[in-house]
Amino acid sequence: MRWPGARQPLLVLLLCLNVALPLIYLSVSRIAISDPATGGWLGDTGSYIHMYDGVPLDSIPKPFRYRILAPYLARLVPPLPASIASLYQITPDKLIKFRFGAVDFLGLTGAAYFTFLLCETLGFAAAECMIASLLFMTGFPVVNFAGLPLTDAVSYFFLVAAIVCVLRDWDLGLLVMVAVGMLAKETTAFVLVPILALELPLAAGNRGLSSVPLRHTSHHPGLELQPRGHARESASDVDVRPQAALDRSGRKHRVRGRVAPGARRGGHADARRQVEGPHAPPGPAGPGCDRGPDPRLREHRPAVLPHVSSGPAPGNASRRAAALRTEAGGDGRDRGAWRWWRRGRGEL
C-alpha cells in the first residue's frame, strides 16, 4: 500500500497532528503541576518551570540546567487572548501548562512523523509505517507525560529525526539535529548507536581489504583496490593481450575467446583452424575481434571455414586422405571416394 504522489507526506502529517492533539490536551487538563507523579515543584517539572521563569541556571540542579531548549521555546509561545482566558478561567499554572503543551504538541507530532519516515526507510509498507507511528503515540509514557512541562516529547523528535538522517545520509540534517537536540536532552547522544552499528562493520571490511599483501595482487595488474571493499576492472584489463600472442613462429593464439591481432579471415584460416578446430564458426577476427560474440553462434549449427591452404590438413586428416588416395590406385584415375571425402569436409 502506498498513497499517491506528494499527498502522502501531507496525509501522514495530518494524521499525526490529529492524534497528537487530544493526547496533549488530556495531559494538560488532567495532571497538575504539583502532582508527585511528575516530580512536583521539587523535581523535573519544578526545575523546568524555574528555567521558564528565568531563574539563573546556576541554581538549577544538574542535569536539568543543560536542558534549556523546551523552557526557552515555551517562553516564546504567545499568551491566550483575554476573552478566552476569562472564559476558561486560565490561571498562571494553566498558562504554564498551555505553553509547554504547545511545545510538546509540535515535538510529539514531529516525532510521530519521523517514526513513519524511519519505518519507510527500513523498507516497510505505508500502512505498516502508519501503524508504527500510532503505536509510538499511544505508548504509556507518551499518553501520561507527553503534555506536561517536561522535555521528553521534544527529545523524542530530535532522536528519531537524527536516526533518520543517519539512515538516509543527510549529513547536514544530522549535524543540526544533534547540535540542537543536545540542548533539549542529552539522550540525543544515543544516535551514536546506529552510527556505530553502520560504520564499524564497514571499517572492519576496509581494514581486512587493506591488509591483503601486495604480492597477492601483483599478478593482476588490472585489479584496482577501491574504497568500501569494491574491486573493478580497469580499462587496461578489458582488452589486454599477452606478448606471447604472436611469437616468432607466427602462430596465432587464442586470448580470452578472441583471436590475436593479425589473424584475418582470409590468408590465416589455417591458423584459426589449428587453434579452434575444423568446425569453428566464422566470426570477426583481427583488430575488430573484440566486438562481442557473433550472433550466428546462436544457431547451434557448426559452420565450416573454406579450405584455402594448398597443403593437406595435418594429423589424422592427412593420413585419411593418403589412405583414400591409395585405395583409388594412387594415380588419381578413380576420384569418387576422394571427392566424397572432400565434400564431407566442405571443401567442394
- String of DSSP letters for 101-155: HHHHHHHHHHHHHHHHHHHHHTT--HHHHHHHHHHHHTSHHHHHHTTSSSSHHHH
Strand-strand pairing, 231-233 and 223-225: antiparallel
Tens digit of each residue's pLDDT (9 = 90 or more) over 268-297: 445 444 444 445 455 444 444 445 555 554
Tens of pLDDT, residue by residue over 208-266, are: 555 555 444 444 444 444 444 444 444 444 444 444 444 444 444 444 444 444 444 44
Q: What is the pLDDT of residue 86?
A: 83
Antiparallel, parallel or unpaired: β 258-259 and 254-255: antiparallel
Residue-wise pLDDT for 10-53, tens only, equals 999 999 999 999 999 988 888 888 777 776 777 788 899 999 99
pLDDT value, residue 80: 84
Q: Looking at residue 315, what is its pLDDT?
A: 54
Closest CA to 188 of 161, 148, 170, 165: 161
Q: What's residue 174's pLDDT? A: 94
SS3 track for 31-71: CCCCCHHHCHHHCHHHHHHHHHCCCCHHHCCCCHHHCCHHH
Q: What is the pLDDT of the chain when averaged over all its residues? A: 72
The confidence score (pLDDT) of residue 32 equals 80
User: Where residue 82 falls among pLDDT bands split at 50, 70, 90?
Assistant: confident
Spatial separation of the C-alpha atoms in residues 145 and 183, rounded to whole Å: 20
Q: pLDDT confidence of 333, banded at 50, 70, 90?
A: very low
Cell numbers 544515543 label which residue?
190
Angle at 337 between CA 335 and CA 343, to 5 degrees: 95
Distances (CA, A) of 262 to 237, 238, 271, 325: 20, 19, 11, 35
Angle subtended at Cα 288 by Cα 284 and Cα 294, rounded to the nearest 5 degrees: 35
> pLDDT digit string (tens) for 197-207?
888 776 666 66
